[in-house]
């Protein structure tokens, strides 16, 4: 088997194992995404940690942990302990792209600290290709999600301003001198400061025909 074909074979294998994305709801707990408990969205269903790469490439897990700790000096938040195997490990799982992508930096750092066989170098290369594609796709998902969030926020802001103008035309003291209108306008102003569109809308629906 030629070297390039072997790399392609390994890449396909690692890609199949890692390239799975699932929707995570707010406060939902997934074993491999324990850092995402307060994040909602679509995330990879694979653990970016030193145990995974140790198993994939055939490197001592303790060495993998030691190298990651040496390179990044992460807090205990990212340093974990596998209670089944009694082996410590470092995870790069995060909702933040910069933390996730440190896994690639870590992969590139390994050959400078551990003497790998030619076979291990090929495996590591294929593994990096698969992980790089996974992270690029996750970044793409995050970017699209961020754009949709901005669009929703812009639309919400537009709707809030429109309904506030409508309320002002009906209940502002300059156009409506009644005591009831003054009370309603104070409520509208309070909801507007809180960016509470629905409360203003409900208030408008209840009072438009009564004041």
pLDDT given for residue 208 in this prediction: 63
Longest dimension (CA), the chain: 89
Domain boundaries, the chain: 3-150, 153-207
pTM: 0.70
Q: Say which DSSP state 94 is in.
A: -
pLDDT given for residue 156 in this prediction: 83
Answer for the pair 109, 59: CB distance below 8 angstroms, yes or no.
Answer: no
Distance CA 33, CA 95 (A): 9
pLDDT given for residue 110 in this prediction: 97
pLDDT given for residue 159 in this prediction: 87
| pLDDT of 149 over the 80 cut | no
CA angle, corner 51, sides to 54 and 23, nearest 5?
125
pLDDT given for residue 26 in this prediction: 56
Residue partners of 78: CB distance under 8 A and separation at least 6? 72, 90, 91, 92, 99
Q: How many CB atoms lie within 10 A of CB 206?
A: 11
Question: pLDDT by residue (tens digit) across 166-210?
Answer: 889 888 888 888 888 888 889 989 988 988 888 888 888 887 655
Q: Coil, strand, or helix at residue 90?
A: strand
pLDDT given for residue 62 in this prediction: 95
CA dihedral sign of residues 193, 197, 202, 206: positive
Residue with tokens 């995870």: 91
Q: How confident is the model at residue 129 (pLDDT cuts 50, 70, 90)?
A: very high
Question: pLDDT by residue (tens digit) across 51-74?
Answer: 999 999 999 999 999 999 999 988
| pLDDT of 6 over the 70 cut | yes
Question: pLDDT by residue (tens digit) across 69-108?
Answer: 999 988 777 888 888 888 999 999 888 899 999 999 999 9
Question: pLDDT by residue (tens digit) across 11-48?
Answer: 999 999 999 888 776 555 555 555 554 567 788 889 99
pLDDT given for residue 1 in this prediction: 47
CA torsion, ordered 167, 168, 172, 174, to nearest 10 deg: -140
pLDDT given for residue 196 in this prediction: 87
Distance CA 133, CA 152 (A): 29
pLDDT given for residue 10 in this prediction: 93
């Amino acid at each position: 088997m030629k070297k390039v074909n072997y790399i392609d074979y390994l890449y396909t294998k690692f890609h199949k194992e890692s390239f799975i994305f699932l929707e995570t709801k707010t406060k939902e707990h997934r074993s491999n995404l324990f850092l995402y408990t307060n994040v909602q969205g679509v995330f990879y269903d694979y653990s970016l940690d030193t145990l995974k790469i140790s198993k994939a490439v055939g490197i001592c897990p303790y060495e993998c942990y030691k190298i990651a700790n040496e390179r990044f000096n992460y807090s205990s938040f990212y340093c974990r302990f596998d209670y089944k195997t009694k082996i410590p490990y470092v995870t790069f799982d995060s909702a933040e792209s910069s933390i996730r992508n440190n896994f690639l930096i870590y992969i590139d750092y390994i050959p400078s600290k551990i003497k790998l066989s030619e076979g291990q170098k090929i495996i590591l290369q294929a593994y990096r290709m698969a992980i790089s594609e996974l992270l690029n796709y996750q970044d793409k998902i995050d970017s699209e999600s961020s754009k949709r969030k901005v669009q929703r926020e812009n639309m919400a802001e537009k709707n809030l301003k429109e309904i506030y103008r409508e309320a002002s035309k009906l209940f502002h003291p300059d156009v409506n001198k009644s005591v009831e209108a003054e009370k309603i306008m104070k409520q509208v102003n309070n909801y507007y400061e809180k960016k509470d569109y629905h409360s203003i809308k409900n208030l408008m629906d209840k009072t438009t025909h009564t004041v």
